[in-house]
Chain A
Amino acid sequence: MTAELLGQLTVLVLAAVIGFELISRVPSLLHTPLMSATNAIHGVVLVGAIVVLAGPGGTLAQVLGFIAVVLATVNVVGGFVVTGRMLEMFRARGPGRRR
């Protein structure tokens, strides 16, 4: 096993632990926005899609990369905007403003 792979495995395991810990105690009130926000975060594949599109390779790889960038951007942008809209619903009624 190469040093790079070992490093990546370390990162994977630590990230998994953090992911579990972060979510285990969240009020159900926020489950939908949270799902939506994490959904936007896996849109980080956009970074991968850009690397593919910018990388070497034939036309087919470029075309696939292009489509991947479009899809991943929809994931990121749509995900964060929709989460923002959901959370906007909560903001309207802080402790200061009751109807």
Chain B
Amino acid sequence: MDTFVTLAYLVAALLFILGIRRLREPATARQGNVIAAFGMLIAVVVTLFEADVLDLVEIGIAVAIGSVIGVVSARRVPMTSMPQFVAAFNGVGGGAVALIGVAEFYRLDQAGGHEGFVILLTIFLGILIGSISFAGSAVAFGKLEEIFLQGSVTFPGQALVNAGLFTAAVAASVNAMADGAAPFASAVVALVLALALGVLLVMPIGGADMPIVISLLNAFTGVAAASSGFVLSNDVLIIGGTLVGASGSILTYGMSNALGRPIGKIIFGAVGAAPSGPAAGDEEERPVTSVGADDVATALNYEADSVILVPGYGLAVAQAQTAMAELMAALEAKGKDVKFAIHPVAGRMPGHMNVLLAEAEVPHEKLLDLDDVNDEFQETDAVVIVGANDVVNPSARDGSDSPISGMPILNVDQAQRIVFVKRSLGPGFAGVDNPLFYDQDKTMMLFSDAKEGLENVVAAVKSS
């Protein structure tokens, strides 16, 4: 590889790093994205210098097709569907890595020559991890887009099947690497087995854990890309892939911590542990204070000067961010002090709620994160919680036997009054009942779809 290309790759790698650095602050984040994209442009353009003219036509056609698909889908996606599109764009990257691995192995196989162990190893790492990422992302997309395999889908003996698939995929890879019987065919078998494994790994995971899975698959694709850098002796692939592998792992770890869901439990938890939920019957019997939108409006208008709004997963699903922004405006018009409390994993991805509320034109200085807002609940008259449960469940603080024990929560129980806008008493995805529901003196339950409920409350607040 000549010096010019290598130096250009170095510049590209630097721009990736500088870009990510600027993405850490809201003020410079847009610049950061542009800088990283510019680095990508440099990396791609100098690579073209290595191709001859005939290849350039094919490359041009392929890039044009990919660009059209990428731009059109990225432009059309609504903000609420962002997570599944991140999953989709991640998956195709994983697919590309797997295909690069297969193509390189085919070339080696045709040439009849043995390559070094590292090349072979990284080819198969790329094929296996890339395929898992591709298939897993496809399932994640399907679940979040509500096309197929919704909720947690399991079958008896799934853990055994997964282990068998994994073993078989590794065996097929080893056979191909060792130049055993039909090496290329067994490389293809390894790819197919890894695809199946990707489907089975993500299939049992429920919708609310999806962000963590997407983040994990993002890190996977990064690692896979880095391994293809070893295959092709290409430093910019190694750097770009490794940056994403490392940052994606940290992000995944942070997310699963914030949710109180260890990553191993998410991946392997649903399999084997049959959904033996707590006897739902007993809890339905306990009395709650069920109210209408007018009652909520009265409480907010006449009994509260300061209000904190807590948006959750349900709000994102119901696309009720605009209705919540309207509630803020209506309350502020009545002279109330209104803030938002954003749990680190509110919405469908960390930070997703911030994006949604920004879309609804809520000034982002009104969005307080966990550490900043938790001291304020004591001095707050009313809290309105929409579509959230686990992130405000005080049993995370006590009761060490609770599945969400230890998860950081918003201390809404310290406020004077609590309003839940929620479809039903059903527990959140952690399956833990929330004692706040049954505090009849303090808590009002408005059973409704998030959007409809908020709109009714807004109308009632304005008219009373």
Residues on A lying within 8 angstroms of B by beta carbon are 4-5, 8, 11-12, 15-20, 22-58, 60-62, 64-94, 98-99
Contacts and interface: CB of A to CB of B under 8 A. Distances in A.
The 4 A-B pairs at the shortest CB distance, nearest first, are namely A73-B66, A19-B246, A77-B70, A31-B350
Interface of B: 12-13, 16-17, 19-21, 23-27, 29-30, 32-34, 36-37, 40, 43-44, 47-48, 50-52, 55, 58-59, 62-63, 65-67, 69-71, 73-75, 77, 79, 82-83, 85-86, 88-90, 92-93, 95-97, 99-100, 102-104, 106-107, 110, 118, 214-215, 218, 221-222, 224-226, 228-251, 254-255, 258, 342, 344-345, 349-352, 354-355, 358-359, 361, 363-364, 367, 369
Nearest to A93: B363
B103 A61 contact: yes
Given A28-B342, A73-B65, A78-B74, A92 B361 contact: yes
A58 B106 contact: yes
A38 B244 contact: yes
A18 B243 contact: yes
A90 B95 CA distance: 32
A82 B74 contact: yes
Contact of A37 (B20, B104, B214): B20
A42 B24 contact: no
B241 A73 contact: no
A87 B27 CA distance: 10
A75 B93 contact: yes
Interface residues of A, dominant DSSP: helix
A39 B62 CA distance: 20
B103 A22 contact: no
Given A34-B24, A76-B44, 14 more contacts: A11-B238, A20-B246, A29-B342, A33-B29, A35-B214, A40-B37, A44-B16, A45-B225, A47-B234, A47-B237, A54-B50, A68-B100, A72-B92, A98-B363
Contact of B62 (A25, A69, A84, A88): A69
Given A19-B247, A37-B33, A74 B62 contact: no
A22 B66 contact: no
Contacts of B26: 27, 29-30, 90
